[in-house]
Amino acid sequence: MAEQDNTRALHHIQSLPSWLTGRVAARGRDLVAHALAGEGLRLSQHAVLAAVAEHGPLAQAELVRRLEIDPKDVVGLLNELGDKGLVQRRPDPRDRRKNAVSATPEGLSTLQRCAALADQANRELLTPLSAAERELLITLLRRLHHADQAQ
């Protein structure tokens, strides 16, 4: 510290992990988003569809908690996925406040193709790294993320 040199201020910022991860994340986001556009899905729609497919029929509030997403946004996302025929909302007979959201067969097959597309995009993102380096990067990122999850 106290080694701050304003003549390299921008260079300094752009060497920080927070900035580097932001840039790499932005590129990863764009790559995956572009790939998913082939299936007509946005990133958030893909995440919701995957959560619904993985965790059986679930209530929207459960979706909110699991994805740490805003309740408001869930409504729109499910509407869009519903319009595409990928998920369906039914009233939960056991608790009439809830909607039981589940994926349709079409939703599941779409999800299959999306997973392949997302994998492909991630391969492109990591092109500059060797297989061992990719594993290493994922491990480091995972540790940072898990430490965050646990506060």
Within positions 3 to 32, which residues make up the interface with a second copy, using CB under 8 A?
4, 6-13, 15-29, 31-32
CB of 96 to DNA, least distance (A): 3
How many Cβ atoms from other residues are within 10 Å of residue 109's Cβ? 12
Query: Exposed, middle or buried by CB within 10 Å (0-12, 13-18, 19+), for 114?
Result: buried
18 near DNA, judged by CB under 7 A: no
CA angle 101, 105, 111 (to 5 degrees): 85
Binding-site string for DNA from residue 41 to residue 60, where x marks contact by CB under 7 A and - marks none? -xxx--------------xx
Give whichever of 61 and 144 is closer to DNA, judged by the CB atom.
61
3 contacts DNA (rule: CB under 7 A):
no
Distance CA 18, CA 11 (A): 13
* Nearest-angstrom CA–CA distance, 102 and 20: 38
Q: Which residues contact 103 (CB under 8 A, 6 or more apart)?
A: 49, 52, 53, 86, 87, 111
d(CA 29, CA 21): 12
Please report whether residue 65 would count as binding a second copy according to CB under 8 A.
Answer: no
State the residues that interact with DNA by CB under 7 A.
26, 33, 42-44, 59-62, 64, 68-75, 78, 89, 92, 95-99
Kindly list the residues in this chain that would bind a second copy in the complex (CB under 8 A): 1-2, 4, 6-13, 15-29, 31-32, 46-47, 49-51, 53-55, 66, 103, 108, 111-112, 115-116, 118-119, 121-122, 125-129, 133-134, 136-138, 140-148
